[in-house]
């Protein structure tokens, strides 16, 4: 039989078999009396149906289908013959009717004579059993593979969900859009010369190598980089062990963070996503665990170590970075390059970097060699290809010219382009505007010689009526704090910067229609990108190229006719600050304020203005202290060329005076800059006094992590005063004016309590000194930290701490949530501040009343090694205990802080023998987490793995629920006893059965197989526990290992068994990290501090429980409210399906949950889906037990279950 015939026949056999089985099932269900043989026939038929269904499902998988066809080829004839016989036999009992199909009804005759047909029924059963046996034998291995594939799919889905959770925590920048845009700019064969170059080929073939590609602005480095990335990705698809990760340094695209820490996050995430050993590689899991399961953001050194481990898992591993010269943290990135290539020396790594600068100038003292390539002339071929491809492209406007004209265009651009893509792209835009031969000839003859000249011509064409708007928009795009949307920038023309006495907002000047066309007219300067974030899509306005910014900020523009557009950091920030404040002033107060939602659509610049106005004021003040006033605004009557010369002379004289030891004049205090700042300061004062609360509806500086503020004030505090806001923002001159106007210097309100505390927390020493001089009370209580000293200590502001101590504050003042300044400094890792406090009399032994914690315990709990070292050197007691009788070791070990654990043990090994009030040791808590290295460390130093707590449970008992294989292997290697019972009689194997961890059970039985039927509470064996929990996989595993099944179903649906399970108290998990501790104990200040430090508000522990869950469980309604209002997921569920709504809550909190999107979860009894899942589990359990128990016993329990259901 041919393969095609066999496939068709197999499908037909399955279809016919299913039809026959349905007929028999209908026959069986037609009889009410003779139960025994009919029931048996029904069971046999159901078994065959399951086989046929499995075959049907397997045939949907092309790979399995081929294997099935091979498996049944040799038995097909016999099986088909038996199915045919079965069909004939069935016809004796079923006759057709007019209304039904051939096998649709049971004949009356068959019903009457049923009792006399037992032999016939038996023959049916024999045929069915034999068919099932033949099929099972032939296809069993394939069906097992199918089941394994299903289980693997489920595992992958689960792991992919975990990976998504970790990605949400990492928040890695996504460079895929930059890669796509750069790739789209390529023409065919662009960069092929580069891929074939000697430097590129040698780089690919050399272990641990760097290729540094340099070239000036517009040379096509980014396009070339994208070519290499696409090539490497395509090449890696043929090598499963390889990987590619890339980053783009692009200052025109501020949508992507340039922060070094976040760049590392992106590299880590990209490599992790290409992992072939499983969805979540071990280094990434370790990073997540080490960061307290997402409670705190990943530290840079942890990310670097994780990157190393990930690189080592691939061969080769390509890292690519484009436009290094645009990197904001150059030294950090160069250190990373030097570390990877010069220190780690991992053979499989290959690093490619493009930059305007050369490798020799960036890393002159490196100890290793690298490959270098200059693009100054190398890419002329690519430019030629780009021009020719563009001119010949269908739909290209220039393609409409005749071939001779197109050749003329190409010749001119190639000859004068000098390998500069950007210059060519700009000229193509000019040429597209030509519609006559004369226009074309004149344009070609008058092509600018440089990029700078190109931009000068574009700026010169800006209409007089638009000059101011274009200038201020360019300032925004050069120095905005985040990417600017097209809608936001369309509001800038409505701000009249020339109005007297100060700028004002004129709504009639807003761009309403044709926004894109307005900017496309100046395509050399601007570009519009479409951004997609989830379901949202919007347009972003950007500079067309970084060289635009370079030109606007360069002194070259000063000597040009378009010097009006010259931009300095001061002029840009001053302009943006004015725009933001003026824009917010349009709303007035009270009812005139739009809602948050209205602001997004009706006044698009509102959210940016509210969030960043003070940032730009701060930046203006900083720029004013650095920038030469002559470079900013030269006196009337001096032309640009003279001004440039004057700048150079003054710079030279300043240097000369410095060499002679003479102090140079403070140029920044000349009238131009001073007047600018005075105007801006007065604008700030007027705004704060009249409308200071306006911004809080859209952005609250006290809670900057909250994207959408829920209230006008911070919970638990009165609203802040204008003086408080000015002090918090660092506006010294504004603070002076407000104080001199008579504003209360000791007013209390806001998160930081007082203006003095706000300045101390932010580190503004000048404001702090001024306020103290003007009579501010340094000991005044208020705010999150109670007093200024605790606030300054919490933020590590050493200079402010010194000023406050000199002012006579009490170094041991007790207030605020942290209790003392020493506690605050210790918890946040500020060793230098803690040393200063101790030197000035701070008591490091003070116990905080609510938890009896010393600073040492706080520092150990969050892994601050330097602080722990300092406190121990100052005489802190390593054996001191908190209210739960936990020591520093008990807090450091479960959180995975290896170095702190080593330090504590080395200081006093007596800490290894302590236990808390529940009898748990550090080992009990640590094994429940994912830190095998710390478990090994504790055991190496002599901790007893068989020491029981007050419930008699050992570390091995505690490790079962998490089921970390490496942790359990370590415990077993150090002699953990698998037969040890707790006070209830439970062994680790009972718990493995309870939590359905067959892989853990396997390890336990491999250690001691005699425990398989060890009796526990009420004599229950691990098998009984697995059956009680309907844990089918554990039942199968125990059965395959030889567990005793006699009377095993006596516990099923047993009330005693259910009560016993409820009394096990197995599920309790201690919330041992960050947000969850704070939520459990109602520590709102600590929660705010953690969220300010980018902690993931939805991070979970090993049981899937979030901070919101713990706050609800502990009845902390105010914390539940706080978490919901700060973005907690109200629909999150723990691994056991519990949510925060499963606990008693105030009605107001319940209403708030619904307001924030809570979706009702139907109860288990009314939820058909849950019942169906439970029934499926029970059916699978009974199916497996069918081969282990007598049929009558099994049928009895099945009947009992169906009645109970």
Is the confidence at residue 123, as pLDDT, over 80?
no
pLDDT at 631: 45
What Cα–Cα distance (Å) separates residue 1075 from each residue in 301, 894, 1158?
A: 22, 15, 21
pLDDT at 84: 67
Task: Give the C-alpha separation, 1073 to 1088, whole Å.
Answer: 15
- By the 10 Å C-beta count (0-12 exposed, 13-18 middle, 19+ buried), 100 is classed as exposed
Is the confidence at residue 141, as pLDDT, over 70?
no
Six-digit token string for 989: 């194997």
Task: Give the C-alpha separation, 1125 to 1119, whole Å.
Answer: 10
Higher-confidence residue of 600 and 991: namely 991
What confidence category does residue 736 fall into, taking pLDDT thresholds of 50, 70 and 90?
A: very high
pLDDT at 328: 83
Is the confidence at residue 1199, as pLDDT, over 60?
no
pLDDT at 661: 47
Q: Are 617 and 680 in contact (CB under 8 A)?
A: yes
Least confident of 380-394, 915-929, 1057-1071: 1057-1071
pLDDT at 14: 66
Six-digit token string for 894: 């479960």
Is the confidence at residue 936, as pLDDT, over 50?
yes
Q: pLDDT > 70: what percent of the chain?
A: 75
872: in domain: yes
Mean pLDDT in residue range 162-183: 82
Q: What is the pLDDT of residues 365-390, one digit of tens each?
A: 888 888 998 886 666 777 888 888 88
Mean pLDDT in residue range 716-735: 84
In the predicted model, what is the mean pLDDT of the chain? 81
- By the 10 Å C-beta count (0-12 exposed, 13-18 middle, 19+ buried), 498 is classed as exposed
pLDDT at 264: 94
What confidence category does residue 1 fall into, taking pLDDT thresholds of 50, 70 and 90?
A: very low
Looking at 648, 681, 697, the residue that finishes a domain is 697
Is the confidence at residue 63, as pLDDT, over 70?
no
DSSP-based three-state secondary structure for 194: helix
Residue owning tokens 């015939």: 5
- Do 529 and 669 belong to one domain? yes
What Cα–Cα distance (Å) separates residue 874 from each residue in 793, 834, 1025?
A: 18, 11, 53
What confidence category does residue 127 fall into, taking pLDDT thresholds of 50, 70 and 90?
A: confident
pLDDT at 931: 87
pLDDT at 715: 43
What confidence category does residue 203 fall into, taking pLDDT thresholds of 50, 70 and 90?
A: very high
What confidence category does residue 888 fall into, taking pLDDT thresholds of 50, 70 and 90?
A: very high
- Nearest-CA neighbor of 783 among 811, 814, 758, 765? 758
Mean pLDDT in residue range 404-419: 87
Higher-confidence residue of 953 and 1186: namely 953
- Do 386 and 503 belong to one domain? no
Q: How many domains in the chain?
A: 6
- Do 404 and 501 belong to one domain? no
Task: Give the C-alpha separation, 1110 to 1077, whole Å.
Answer: 8
- Do 496 and 535 belong to one domain? yes
25: in domain: yes
Higher-confidence residue of 1111 and 1204: namely 1111
Q: Are 946 and 982 in contact (CB under 8 A)?
A: no
Is the confidence at residue 206, as pLDDT, over 50?
yes
Q: Are 375 and 219 in contact (CB under 8 A)?
A: yes
pLDDT at 636: 46
Helices (H) and strands (E) in the chain, counts: 58, 10
Q: Are 495 and 505 in contact (CB under 8 A)?
A: yes
pLDDT at 121: 66
pLDDT at 646: 46
Q: Are 297 and 1094 in contact (CB under 8 A)?
A: yes
pLDDT at 153: 41
Is the confidence at residue 147, as pLDDT, over 60?
no
- Nearest-CA neighbor of 771 among 731, 812, 720, 719? 731
Q: CA 939: distance to chain centroid?
A: 34
676: in domain: yes
Looking at 87, 121, 150, the residue that finishes a domain is 150
- Do 503 and 422 belong to one domain? no
Q: What are phi and psi of 262, to 5 degrees?
A: -75, -30
Q: What is the pLDDT of residues 1152-1175, one digit of tens each?
A: 888 888 887 654 333 444 556 667
pLDDT at 190: 76
Q: Are 14 and 45 in contact (CB under 8 A)?
A: no
Q: Are 61 and 149 in contact (CB under 8 A)?
A: yes
Higher-confidence residue of 469 and 507: namely 469
Task: Give the C-alpha separation, 43 to 53, whole Å.
Answer: 15
Six-digit token string for 408: 């003329």
pLDDT at 791: 96
What confidence category does residue 1057 fall into, taking pLDDT thresholds of 50, 70 and 90?
A: low
- Do 461 and 592 belong to one domain? yes
Six-digit token string for 352: 């490619």
Is the confidence at residue 100, as pLDDT, over 60?
no
Is the confidence at residue 6, as pLDDT, over 60?
no
Residue owning tokens 């125990």: 1038
Six-digit token string for 575: 């302009």
Query: Residue 210: beta bridge partners?
Result: 351
Q: Are 1194 and 1185 in contact (CB under 8 A)?
A: yes
- Do 1099 and 1127 belong to one domain? yes
pLDDT at 250: 76
- Do 397 and 316 belong to one domain? no
- Do 374 and 387 belong to one domain? no
Looking at 648, 680, 697, the residue that finishes a domain is 697
957: in domain: yes
- Do 556 and 686 belong to one domain? yes
Reading phi first (left if > 0) and then psi (alpha if -120 to 50, else beta), residue 8 is in alpha
pLDDT at 1186: 75
Q: What is the pLDDT of residues 337-346, one digit of tens each?
A: 999 998 999 9
813: in domain: no
pLDDT at 706: 81
DSSP-based three-state secondary structure for 687: helix
CATH number at residue 1144: 1.25.40.20
Q: What are phi and psi of 933, to 5 degrees?
A: -65, -40
Least confident of 24-33, 313-322, 539-548, 644-653: 644-653
Could you say which DSSP state residue 654 is in? H
Task: Give the C-alpha separation, 529 to 943, whole Å.
Answer: 60
Least confident of 642-651, 687-696, 1063-1072, 1166-1175: 642-651
**Which residue segment(s) compose the domain that 400 sits in?**
382-447
Residue owning tokens 């499908």: 11
Q: How far apart are the first and last CA of the chain?
A: 49
Higher-confidence residue of 845 and 46: namely 845
Is the confidence at residue 628, as pLDDT, over 70?
no
Mean pLDDT in residue range 477-487: 93
Sheet strands side by side (includes 536-543): 484-485, 536-543, 526-533
Mean pLDDT in residue range 901-912: 96
141: in domain: yes
Is the confidence at residue 130, as pLDDT, over 80?
no
- Do 392 and 499 belong to one domain? no
List alpha helices for 274-299, DSSP H.
282-290
Q: pLDDT > 90: what percent of the chain?
A: 42
Task: Give the C-alpha separation, 1105 to 961, whole Å.
Answer: 14
pLDDT at 679: 77
pLDDT at 857: 95
Higher-confidence residue of 786 and 147: namely 786
982: in domain: no
- Do 541 and 674 belong to one domain? yes
Q: What is the pLDDT of residues 1005-1035, one digit of tens each?
A: 999 999 999 999 888 899 999 988 889 899 9
pLDDT at 110: 39
Q: Are 579 and 504 in contact (CB under 8 A)?
A: no
DSSP-based three-state secondary structure for 1001: helix
Query: Residue 244: beta bridge partners?
Result: 318
pLDDT at 161: 62
pLDDT at 179: 87
222: in domain: yes
- Nearest-CA neighbor of 747 among 718, 767, 774, 790? 718
- Nearest-CA neighbor of 218 among 329, 359, 323? 323
Six-digit token string for 161: 């969900």
3-state SS string for 920-965: CCHHHHHCCCCCHHHHHHHHHCCCCCCCCCCCCCCHHHHHHCCCCH
Is the confidence at residue 284, as pLDDT, over 70?
yes
């Amino acid at each position: 039989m041919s393969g095609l015939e066999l496939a068709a026949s197999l499908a037909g056999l399955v279809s016919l078999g299913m039809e026959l089985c349905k007929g028999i099932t209908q026959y069986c269900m037609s009889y009410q009396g003779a139960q025994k043989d009919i029931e048996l026939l029904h069971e046999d038929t159901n078994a065959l149906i399951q086989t046929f269904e499995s075959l049907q499902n397997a045939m949907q998988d092309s790979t399995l289908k081929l294997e099935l066809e091979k498996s049944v080829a040799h038995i097909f004839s016999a099986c088909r013959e038996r199915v045919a016989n079965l069909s004939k036999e069935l016809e004796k009992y079923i006759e057709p009717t007019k209304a039904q199909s051939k096998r649709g009804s049971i004949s009356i005759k068959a019903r009457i004579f049923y009792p006399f047909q037992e032999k016939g029924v038996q023959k049916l059963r024999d045929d069915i059993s034999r068919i099932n046996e033949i099929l099972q034998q032939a296809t069993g291995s394939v069906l097992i593979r199918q089941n394994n594939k299903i289980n693997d799919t489920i595992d992958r889905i689960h792991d992919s969900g975990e990976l998504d959770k970790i990605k949400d925590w990492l928040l890695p920048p996504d460079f895929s859009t930059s890669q796509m845009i750069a790739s789209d700019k390529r023409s065919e064969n662009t960069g092929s010369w580069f891929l074939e170059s000697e430097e590129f080929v040698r780089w690919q073939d050399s272990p641990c190598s760097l290729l540094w590609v340099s070239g000036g602005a517009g040379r096509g480095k980014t396009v070339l980089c994208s070519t290499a990335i696409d090539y490497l990705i395509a090449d890696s698809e043929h090598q499963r062990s390889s990987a590619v990760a890339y980053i783009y340094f692009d200052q025109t695209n501020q949508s992507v963070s340039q922060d070094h820490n976040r760049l590392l996050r992106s590299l880590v995430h990209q490599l992790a996503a290409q992992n072939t050993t499983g969805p979540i590689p071990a280094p990434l899991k370790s990073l997540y665990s080490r960061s307290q399961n997402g409670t705190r953001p990943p530290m840079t050194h942890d990310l670097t170590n994780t990157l190393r481990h990930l690189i080592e898992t691939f061969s080769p591993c390509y890292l690519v970075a484009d436009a290094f010269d645009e990197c904001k943290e150059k030294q950090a990135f160069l250190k990373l390059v030097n570390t990877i290539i010069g220190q780690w020396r991992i053979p499989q790594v290959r690093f490619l970097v493009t930059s305007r600068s050369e490798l020799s100038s960036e890393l002159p003292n490196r100890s290793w060699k690298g490959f270098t390539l200059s693009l100054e002339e190398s890419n002329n071929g690519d430019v030629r290809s780009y021009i020719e491809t563009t001119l010949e492209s269908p739909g290209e406007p220039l393609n409409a010219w005749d071939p001779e004209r197109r050749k003329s265009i190409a010749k001119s651009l190639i000859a004068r382009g000098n390998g500069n893509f950007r210059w060519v792209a700009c000229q193509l835009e000019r040429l597209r505007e030509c519609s006559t031969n004369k226009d074309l000839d004149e344009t070609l003859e008058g092509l600018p010689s440089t990029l700078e000249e190109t931009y000068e011509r574009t700026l010169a064409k800006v209409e007089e009526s638009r000059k101011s708007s274009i200038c201020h928009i360019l300032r925004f795009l050069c120095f905005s704090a985040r990417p600017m949307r097209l809608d936001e920038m369309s509001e800038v023309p409505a701000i009249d910067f020339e109005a007297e006495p100060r700028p004002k907002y004129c709504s009639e000047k807003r761009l309403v229609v044709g926004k894109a066309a307005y900017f496309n007219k100046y395509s050399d300067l601007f570009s519009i990108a479409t951004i997609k974030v989830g379901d949202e899509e919007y347009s972003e306005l950007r500079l067309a190229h970084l060289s635009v910014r370079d030109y606007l900020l360069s002194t070259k523009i000063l000597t040009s006719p378009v010097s009006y557009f010259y931009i300095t950091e001061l002029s840009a920030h001053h302009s943006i600050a004015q725009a933001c404040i003026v824009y917010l002033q349009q709303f007035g107060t009270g009812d005139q304020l739009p809602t948050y939602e209205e602001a997004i659509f009706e006044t698009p610049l509102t959210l940016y203005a509210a969030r960043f106005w003070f940032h730009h004021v701060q930046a203006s003040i900083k720029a004013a202290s650095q920038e030469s006033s002559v470079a900013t605004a030269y006196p009337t009557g001096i032309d640009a060329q003279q001004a440039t010369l004057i700048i150079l002379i003054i710079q030279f004289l300043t240097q000369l005076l410095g060499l002679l030891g003479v102090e140079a004049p403070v140029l920044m205090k000349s009238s131009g800059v001073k007047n600018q700042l005075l105007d801006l300061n007065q604008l700030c004062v007027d705004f704060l006094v009249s409308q200071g609360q306006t911004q809080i509806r859209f952005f609250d500086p006290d809670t900057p992590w909250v994207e959408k503020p829920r209230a006008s004030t911070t919970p638990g505090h009165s609203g802040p005063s204008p003086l408080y806001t000015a002090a918090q923002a660092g506006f010294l001159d504004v603070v002076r004016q407000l104080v001199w106007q008579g504003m209360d210097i000791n007013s209390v309100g806001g998160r930081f309590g007082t203006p003095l505390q706000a300045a101390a927390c932010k580190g503004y020493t000048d404001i702090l000194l001024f306020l103290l001089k003007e009579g501010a009370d340094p000991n005044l209580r208020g705010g999150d930290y109670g007093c200024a000293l605790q606030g300054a200590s919490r933020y590590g502001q050493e200079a402010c701490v010194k000023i406050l101590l000199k002012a006579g504050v009490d170094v041991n003042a007790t207030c605020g949530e942290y209790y003392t300044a020493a506690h605050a400094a210790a918890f946040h890792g500020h060793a230098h501040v803690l040393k200063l406090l101790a030197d000035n009399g701070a008591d490091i032994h003070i116990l905080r009343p609510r938890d009896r914690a010393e600073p040492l315990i706080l520092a150990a709990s969050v892994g601050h090694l330097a602080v722990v070292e300092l406190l121990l050197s100052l005489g802190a007691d390593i054996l001191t205990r908190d209210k739960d009788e936990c020591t520093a070791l008990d807090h450091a070990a479960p959180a995975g802080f290896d170095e702190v654990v080593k330090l504590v043990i080395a200081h006093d090994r007596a800490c290894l023998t302590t236990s808390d009030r529940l009898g748990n040791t550090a080992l009990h808590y640590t094994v429940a987490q994912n830190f095998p290295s710390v478990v090994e460390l504790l055991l190496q130093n002599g901790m007893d793995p068989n020491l029981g707590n007050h419930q008699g449970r050992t570390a091995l008992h505690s490790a079962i629920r998490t089921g970390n294989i490496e942790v359990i292997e370590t415990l077993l290697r150090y002699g953990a006893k698998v037969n040890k019972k707790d006070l209830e009689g439970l062994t680790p194997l009972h718990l493995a059965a309870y939590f359905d961890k067959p892989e853990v059970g396997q390890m336990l039985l491999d250690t001691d197989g005699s425990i398989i039927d060890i009796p526990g509470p009420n004599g229950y064996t691990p098998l009984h526990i697995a059956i009680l929990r309907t844990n089918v996989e554990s039942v199968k595993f125990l059965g395959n290992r030889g567990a005793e099944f006699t009377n095993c179903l006596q516990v099923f649906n047993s009330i005693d068994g259910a009560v016993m399970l409820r009394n096990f108290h197995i599920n309790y998990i201690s919330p041992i990290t960050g947000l969850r501790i704070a939520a459990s104990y109602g520590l709102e200040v600590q929660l705010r501090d953690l969220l300010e430090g980018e902690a993931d508000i939805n991070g979970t522990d090993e049981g899937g429980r979030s901070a919101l869950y713990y706050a609800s469980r502990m009845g902390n309604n105010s914390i539940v409210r706080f978490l919901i209002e700060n973005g907690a997921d109200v629909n999150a569920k723990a691994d056991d399906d519990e949510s925060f709504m499963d606990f008693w809550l105030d009605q107001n909190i319940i209403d708030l949950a619904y307001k924030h999107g809570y979706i009702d979860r139907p109860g288990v009894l009314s939820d058909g889906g849950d019942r169906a899942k439970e029934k499926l589990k029970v059916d699978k359990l009974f199916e497996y037990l069918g081969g282990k128990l007598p049929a009558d016993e099994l049928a009895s329990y099945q009947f009992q279950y169906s009645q109970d259901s």
